[in-house]
C-alpha cells in the first residue's frame, strides 16, 4: 500500500513502519493517524508480515506528539471525537495479533509516548526522551496515555510525569520499566529486529494469544479510558488550552489563568 506520511519496508517477514514528517518531528496529524489505522489493517491482512517495528524519521524524533496546529478551534465534542478516534487506532495497535515493537529514536512526547506505549514493548536509543507534556498546553493526554502510563510505570511516577509535563531520558525510562533496552542509535533497529526474529520463530497463534491474554489483564480499566475522553474534550472549553496551544504555535511562553 502507498502512504503519504509513512514509509514501510518488509524484510524477512518484519515490517518496519517509519512515521515520516521529520520537519514536524513526525507529529501525528489526522493524515498520519488515518494511515496508522490503515497500516494496521495491512499488517493483519498480509500473511507475509509476521512482526512490526514502529519508528520515526530523522535522528531527533520518534514522534513529538499530536499535531498541535490541528487543535485550534476544536470544541469539547470535537475534542472528545478526536480522543475517541485516537484511542480506537491505538487499541488496534495494542490488540494487533502480531508483535509490535516501538523503536524509539528520539522525542516520544504526548501522542508519541502514547503510540510507543500502545506497542507491545519498547526499545530506546540513548538520545530518546519520553514525556506527556500536555499540561503545558492546558490539555491532558487523549490517546490512552493516562491509562497506559500508570499500567507501565505505576501511579506515582506516572502522575509525576503527567502533572509536571517533564521529560525523562532513556536511562530513566529503562529504570521505570517504560522501555526494555537502551542501545546506541545506530543499533536500534537491529536490536528490535533481533528480538522479533526470535519471536517470529515461535508459533504465531500462540504469540497472538500471549498478546490477547496479556491485554486482558487491563479489561476492567475501560472506565478510565471513558474518563479520559470526557476530560480531554473538556480541555477544549478552557482558556488555558487556547493560550497553551496558541503560545506554542506563536513560539512564546504561555500565561495560564486557571480558567
Ligand atoms: N505539533 C505540531 N508541530 C510540532 C510539534 C507538535 N506536537 N512538535 C514539534 N513541532 C514542529 C515545530 O513547530 C517546528 O516546526 P517549524 O519548524 O515549522 O516551526 C518543528 O516541529 C521542529 O520543532 P522545534 O520545536 O523547532 O524543535 P526543538 O528541537 O527546538 O524542540 C521539542 C523539540 C520536541 C521539545 C518541541 O518541538 C516541542 O515541545 N514540541 C511539542 C511537544 C508537545 O507538546 N507534544 C504534545 C502535543 S499534545
pLDDT at residue number 223: 63
Crossing angle of the two packed helices 155-164 and 145-153, in degrees rounded to 10: 140
pLDDT at residue number 218: 84
pLDDT at residue number 259: 85
CB 228 near ligand 1, within 6 Å: no
Rounded Cα gap, residues 113 and 85, in angstroms: 17
pLDDT in tens, the chain (259 residues): 889 999 999 999 999 999 999 999 999 999 999 999 999 999 999 999 999 999 999 999 999 999 999 999 999 999 999 999 999 999 999 999 999 999 999 999 999 999 999 999 999 999 999 999 999 999 999 999 999 999 999 999 999 999 999 999 999 999 999 999 999 999 999 999 999 999 999 888 888 888 888 888 887 765 667 777 887 888 899 898 999 899 999 999 998 887 8
Q: H helices of 15-70, where?
A: 30-45
Closest CA to 109 of 142, 155, 158, 63: 63
For atom 27 of ligand 1, the residue with the nearest CA is 25
CA of 140 to the centre of ligand 1 (A): 17
Closest CA to 102 of 124, 129, 79, 81: 124
Residue 116 zone, left/alpha/beta (φ > 0; ψ -120 to 50; rest): alpha
CB 138 near ligand 1, within 6 Å: no
Asked whether the beta carbons of 99 and 56 are under 8 A apart, the reply is no
CA of 134 to the centre of ligand 1 (A): 13
pTM exceeds 0.85: yes
DSSP letter (8 states) at residue 21: -
**Can you name the residues that pair with 55 across neighbouring β-strands?**
18
Atom of ligand 1 nearest to the CA of 142: 48
Judge whether 114 counts as a catalytic residue: yes
Query: 89 in helix, strand or coil?
Result: helix
pLDDT at residue number 221: 60
CB 27 near ligand 1, within 6 Å: yes
CB 110 near ligand 1, within 6 Å: yes
The grid coordinates of residue 200 equal 517470529
Residue 51 CA to chain centroid, in angstroms?
A: 18
Judge whether 134 counts as a catalytic residue: yes
Amino acid at each position: 500500500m502507498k502512504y503519504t506520511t509513512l514509509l514501510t519496508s518488509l524484510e524477512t517477514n518484519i515490517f518496519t513502519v517509519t512515521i515520516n514528517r521529520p520537519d514536524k518531528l513526525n507529529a501525528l496529524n489526522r493524515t498520519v493517524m488515518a494511515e496508522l489505522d490503515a497500516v494496521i489493517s495491512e499488517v493483519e491482512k498480509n500473511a507475509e508480515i509476521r512482526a512490526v517495528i514502529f519508528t520515526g524519521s530523522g535522528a531527533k524524533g520518534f514522534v513529538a506528539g499530536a499535531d498541535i496546529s490541528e487543535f485550534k478551534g476544536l470544541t469539547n465534542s470535537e475534542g472528545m471525537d478526536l480522543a475517541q478516534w485516537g484511542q480506537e487506532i491505538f487499541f488496534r495497535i495494542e490488540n494487533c495479533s502480531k508483535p509490535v515493537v516501538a523503536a524509539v529514536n528520539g522525542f516520544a512526547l504526548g501522542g508519541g509516548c502514547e503510540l510507543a506505549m500502545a506497542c507491545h514493548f519498547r526499545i530506546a536509543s540513548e538520545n530518546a526522551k519520553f514525556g506527556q507534556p500536555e499540561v503545558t498546553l492546558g490539555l491532558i493526554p487523549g490517546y490512552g496515555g493516562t491509562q497506559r502510563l500508570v499500567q507501565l510505570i505505576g501511579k506515582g511516577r506516572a502522575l509525576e510525569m503527567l502533572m509536571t509535563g517533564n521529560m525523562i531520558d532513556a536511562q530513566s525510562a529503562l529504570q521505570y520499566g517504560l522501555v526494555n533496552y537502551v542501545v546506541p542509535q545506530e543499533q536500534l533497529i537491529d536490536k528490535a529486529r533481533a528480538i522479533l526474529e526470535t519471536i517470529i520463530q515461535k508459533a504465531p497463534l500462540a504469540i497472538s494469544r500471549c498478546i490477547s491474554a496479556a491485554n486482558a489483564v487491563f479489561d476492567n480499566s475501560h472506565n478510565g479510558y471513558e474518563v479520559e475522553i470526557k476530560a480531554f474534550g473538556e480541555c477544549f472549553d478552557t482558556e488555558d488550552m487556547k493560550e497553551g496551544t496558541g503560545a506554542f504555535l506563536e513560539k512564546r511562553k504561555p500565561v495560564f489563568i486557571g480558567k
